[in-house]
């Protein structure tokens, strides 16, 4: 993995741990896997970040951070991947999850437009919340697992690829 390239974009763990607004977390932020880039913590971070990106809830980053701390995933990646669902991607993502929910619940699809307003949330969300929530949960689990497994496989491939490159260089130097 390009660890050095990624680390320069990550916050300094000591700065985050010493931040006054995070003092209530105490020693929870001192877990090494929250900041290290290793196969386990990054794979878990992909699951957490992608899972919460598909959940229609406020404060997705906070939820991802708390779950990430609990399961010892890489915290910056867990929080950063939540931004898969951003103001540009929220409508297609949640429309897709709504369609998945209607198929599973065998409900007719209602035409609606997603608006980021309180008025829309009070009127439309009450009618579509069941298929939206079920579809979001199923998609979150499926895509989160795909991210987890994909990252584990990519990490393994990268390590084997580097081993083979080093092995080839050693054999070329020996001859």
The pLDDT score that the predictor gives to residue 108 is 84
Give the total number of structural domains in the chain.
1
In this structure, the chain runs to a length of: 175
Its domain, for residue 15, covers 3-174
Query: Residue written as tokens 């939206």?
Result: 132
- pLDDT of 53 higher than 70: yes
Burial of 162 per CB tally in 10 Å (0-12, 13-18, 19+): exposed
Which of 51, 52, 48, 16 lies closest to 35, judged by CA? 16
8-19 pLDDT, tens digit per residue, is 666 666 666 565
Query: What is the overall mean pLDDT for the chain?
Result: 83
Q: State the pLDDT confidence band at 39, using cuts at 50, 70 and 90.
A: confident
Residue 107 burial (CB count, 10 A): 13
79-113 pLDDT, tens digit per residue, is 999 999 988 988 899 889 999 999 999 888 877 66
């Amino acid at each position: 993995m390009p660890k050095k390239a990624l680390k320069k974009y990550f916050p300094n763990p000591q700065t985050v741990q010493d931040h006054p607004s995070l003092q209530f977390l105490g020693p929870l932020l001192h877990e090494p896997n929250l900041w290290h880039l290793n196969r386990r913590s990054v794979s878990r971070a992909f699951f957490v970040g992608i899972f919460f990106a598909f959940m229609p809830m406020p404060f997705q980053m906070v939820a991802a951070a708390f779950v990430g701390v609990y399961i010892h995933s890489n915290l910056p990646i867990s929080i950063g991947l939540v931004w898969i669902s951003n103001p540009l991607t929220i409508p297609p993502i949640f429309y897709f999850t709504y369609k998945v929910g209607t198929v599973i619940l065998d409900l007719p699809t209602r035409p609606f437009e997603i608006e980021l307003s309180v008025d829309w949330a009070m009127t439309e969300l009450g009618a579509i919340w069941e298929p939206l929530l079920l579809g979001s949960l199923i998609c979150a689990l499926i895509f989160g697992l795909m991210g987890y497994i994909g990252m584990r496989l990519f990490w393994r491939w990268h390590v084997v690829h580097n081993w083979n490159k080093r092995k080839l260089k050693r054999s070329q130097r020996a001859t």
